[in-house]
Amino acid sequence: MSTAATHGGWAQNTRRTLAMIKFEHSVFALPFAILGAMLAANGWPAGATLGWIVVAMVGARSAAMTFNRIVDRHVDAANPRTRSRELPAGRLSVQFAVGFLVVSVAVFEIAAWRLNPLCLLLSPLALGWVFFYSYTKRFTWLSHWVLGSGLGIAPAAAWIAVRGSLAPRILLLTAAVTLWVAGFDLLYACQDVDFDRGRADLHSAPKRLGVARALRWAQYCHWVMMAFLILLLLASHLGPLAWIGLAVVAALLVYEHALLKPGNLSRINAAFFTVNGYVGILLLVFWGAALLI
């Protein structure tokens, strides 16, 4: 354990913790949770409900990311791309990470309790599923879809938070988010294919299928994602503005896939971080505006 991990100040450890959990990546799932709440409320949900949904999302994602970093710390230390992460590099201690994990779980459970009884009842299952993802790469190349389903829970959970029950319509958004995340995780995993091939204990779709086929599978995921979003639009009757938003998202996904080729993954950060950061936000802006109008 490094001196920094042992004696780092509160502000310094906070910055390192936010870096460890990639807090800025909250833009991937949070907009879909808010959109799920707005669909459930047919507009803007009650302020307290929306606030506790955001708290629950931050708590759940922080817990899931911290758990993943703890479980994967030895794998991260062996991978040249990830060995500089906070735990393998010693900038945060495992004890500190475990403490942050416990706090994050507590925040999530409090938020679930404040929302409604069904949210509280289902909260351990949601946490258990997102924690389970951290082990899937040890035994299956389908881990990308497990990750997707972990984020896909968000809109359905938000619907339950608003209505206290679940409706089939919101599962179309859950399926869309699942495939969206699986698709861009397939793209991201391509950069680790050589490392994965060197270890018998790690599995991934690029390792099993090859980079070229993994890129095609990512495209298939995003095509089917669009189909689910079209079905949701038809079921929700949101109007022209929502269709414009869907067209913008489709254009972003086409651009994302155009950035990457089997022999050239140099623009992976632009495809993964920049493009996907806008997908959820733009869909929320256009569809949220359509709901409010």
4 pLDDT tier (thresholds 50, 70, 90): very low
Model confidence pLDDT, tens digit, residues 147-166: 999 999 999 999 999 999 99
**What is the reported pLDDT for 3?**
43
Locate 1 and state its tokens.
């354990």
Question: 264 has which bridge partners?
Answer: 261
Model confidence pLDDT, tens digit, residues 228-237: 999 999 999 9
- What is the Cα–Cα distance from 211 to 279, expressed in whole angstroms? 24
97 pLDDT tier (thresholds 50, 70, 90): very high
**What is the reported pLDDT for 74?**
96
Average pLDDT over residues 26-31: 85
- What is the Cα–Cα distance from 247 to 283, expressed in whole angstroms? 10
Residue 6 has pLDDT above 50, yes or no: no
Average pLDDT over residues 273-290: 92
What are the domain boundaries of the chain? 3-292
Residue 198 has pLDDT above 50, yes or no: yes
Q: Do 183 and 119 contact (CB within 8 A), yes or no?
A: no
Residue 199 has pLDDT above 60, yes or no: yes
For residue 35, the Cα-to-chain-centroid distance in whole angstroms is 15
Average pLDDT over residues 135-152: 97
Average pLDDT over residues 94-116: 97
For 69, phi then psi, to 5°, come to -65, -35
Residue 66 has pLDDT above 50, yes or no: yes
24 pLDDT tier (thresholds 50, 70, 90): confident
Residue 9 one-letter amino acid = G
If DSSP states are collapsed to H, E and C, what string results for the chain? CCHHHHHCCHHHHHHHHHHHCCHHHHHCCHHHHHHHHHHHHCCCCCHHHHHHHHHHHHHHHHHHHHHHHHHCHHHHHHCCCCCCCCCCCCCCCHHHHHHHHHHHHHHHHHHHHHHCHHHHHHHHHHHHHHHHHHHHCCCCCCHHHHHHHHHHHHHHHHHHHHHCCCCHHHHHHHHHHHHHHHHHHHHHHHHHHHHHHCCCCCCCHHHHHCHHHHHHHHHHHHHHHHHHHHHHHHHHCCCHHHHHHHHHHHHHHHHHHHCCECCECCCHHHHHHHHHHHHHHHHHHHHHHHHHC
Length of the chain: 293
**Average pLDDT of the chain to the nearest whole number:** 93
Cβ burial 32-47 (10 Å sphere, 16+ → b, else e): bbbbbbbbbbeeebee
Residue with tokens 């993802």: 133
Residue with tokens 């924690």: 131
End-to-end CA distance of the chain: 55
61 pLDDT tier (thresholds 50, 70, 90): very high
Locate 231 and state its tokens.
């079905």
28 pLDDT tier (thresholds 50, 70, 90): confident
125 pLDDT tier (thresholds 50, 70, 90): very high
Residue 133 has pLDDT above 80, yes or no: yes
**CATH annotation of 3-292:** 1.10.357.140
Q: What is the percent of the chain where pLDDT is above 90?
A: 83
Residue with tokens 């505006």: 289
Residue 107 has pLDDT above 80, yes or no: yes
For residue 18, the Cα-to-chain-centroid distance in whole angstroms is 15
**What is the reported pLDDT for 8?**
59
Average pLDDT over residues 78-83: 94
Cα 283 to Cα 50, 84, 121, 217, 231: the distances in Å are: 18, 34, 30, 23, 15
- What is the Cα–Cα distance from 210 to 269, expressed in whole angstroms? 20
Average pLDDT over residues 80-95: 94
Average pLDDT over residues 254-266: 89
Cα 147 to Cα 48, 82, 109: the distances in Å are: 29, 19, 21
